[in-house]
Amino acid sequence: MQKEQEHTRDPRSSGADVKGLALITVDMIKGKANEALNKMLLKGTGGNRALLSSFADKYNAILKGDIPQATQGLQFGNPKFAEEAASDSVVEATSCEQDFSGNHHHSPMRTIVRVMLQTLQGP
């Protein structure tokens, strides 16, 4: 339900076809990834530079690799390419969350990561 609500808040959704809705989803993922990265960079990890570096690397992979790949896949009519990029985003975000829990840290953007994963994984 939340995913549907977020899509309907986007003015592009009213006349969007499946490709348009997929592009809106990619934009939502990009926004959540940027939000998570910015929040982490501002809040930090309690002095754990390795954890911060790992987090930044994973989210940069999403923002600079997976998101552009998903967008191009959709724009050029290759939804499988876009799906693979979205799946990679899930792996990166999940790995980041596991890094935090494995280091006895509570991820300051746990909610953002979960919303991003729900958006990627669907209902």
The structural domains of the chain, with segments of one domain joined by +, span 17-121
How many CB atoms are closer than 10 A to CB 32? 25
Tell me the C-alpha distance between 54 and 21, whole Å.
31
How would residue 1 be classed by pLDDT, with cut points 50, 70 and 90? Answer: very low
Domain range 17-121, CATH architecture: Up-down Bundle (1.20)
27-82 tens-digit pLDDT = 888 888 888 778 777 776 666 777 778 888 888 888 899 999 999 999 999 988 88
89-104 tens-digit pLDDT = 888 887 877 777 766 5
Q: Is the dihedral of CA 95, 46, 53, 25 positive or negative?
A: positive
Q: Are 107 and 33 in contact (CB under 8 A)?
A: no
